[in-house]
Structure 1
């Protein structure tokens, strides 16, 4: 187990398995630490960001039969390399959609109503009283929400946004059937999609194919005064281009829960007043984190105890 997990998950794991943990602080692991800890182990329960690239997987001990990641995303694991070695890879789908959509909506609200700036002003003891023009934001009712990646999380966000009176637009690899669209407008190309976004919420996976998807050119296609929110993967945003657009006023605000190179974040975000920053809280509820851990253990149990197909195989 590469990380300390919620109490209920730890208790179940300790009941059924002999657990080995890497030495050192509880943080994302590099290759060497994973290889050292994995000696003699039959399974690895890892987390997002742990360094399981192709070279690391090729060097794993022959005893390892399964890698269960405490995440939906698998971009930190070289899936092809795991397949080549016959190591199953599993993830935790279907249990964190609502929690992550809640964080996306929280960021949208904070950006629209300038809540981060307001909270910082109060903490700095700079508030001198109510004023008619102080920290005026924008209302969400009637605004167009563009959802990039209309999977489970995107659809949960759309459900919440409809309750706020927002119009839903989306960009997806494939169009959803009408019963799942629920009146949302599908866009088959980036140009029409970005032009329709008063608020852009990003829910696409990481990896080479999506690296810096939101670059200067795509930002320029957003309407002036748009809001950008990212709860997917930090690598999908060109940080420098985003900060430039915020400073120029082309973007009204941005809300970010994920970052490239976590826990380090792009220096420009520290000084941008119209950015709301959260420390990767997307799935951080007791209910969701317990469910994620139980998904991991269900997968490990299937392979290591019951000798059956894991219920949530990713590779």
Structure 2
């Protein structure tokens, strides 16, 4: 204020005030940077503390699991292991005897047990033949003795009329002939008829020849119905003129087929087709009754 140059004094004052403001701004910026560093350090410390806490939590969980397993193990029944001696391998493998082929002795067991030796093979054969001859003679004598007397009438079981088949009648006649002697004629050796209430209808079969005494054969089984699947009759000696000269083979149809297109064949089961060509997709080309066309290969079978 007392300076002679007022302007110079004002400039000095402005410079001092600017310097003071600059120093204040520097102090504020340094304080702000220091505060930011402090915040960063605190964040790092917080992260470290969080990691320590998570580690402690994991240790606590592990300890709880160990304790729970220990308690569960205490509730279970302990397994008792039987004490036994350990299996020890032999010090050296056993020596094997070398193979030696020996002839078989079939009489080594002859003296064991209560059997009796019998070296008379020829005698045993003769005895067998003699016994067989005696047995046959006894059987023939017994049959002759039985045939000498008249057989007594046997009361047959009650059978309704119309139920007796031809096979049963033939078997009854054959059994009557077998009970009869070999030298007696057939008609005069029949037993007397049974009472009227038990009489059977007379059989329709003619008496068999006396020389052939074989029992009648059973009736043949019923033939299956072949209307749905019938093979064609055997071809004649001369084939029809419409048969192609060069054909692969003959096939017979198994199922009916109706043509789906104009170039296909229609046929019924049992038709004879001459195949002229086969294709990889399963279709075939052939001739059927002067008609040539295509047909499926799975509807036929070769002859």
Q: TM range, normalised to the smaller chain?
A: under 0.3
Larger relative CO (CA 8 A, sep 6+): 1 or 2? 1
TM-score of the aligned structures, taking structure 1 as reference length: 0.15
TM-score of the aligned structures, taking structure 2 as reference length: 0.16
Q: Which has the higher strand share?
A: 1
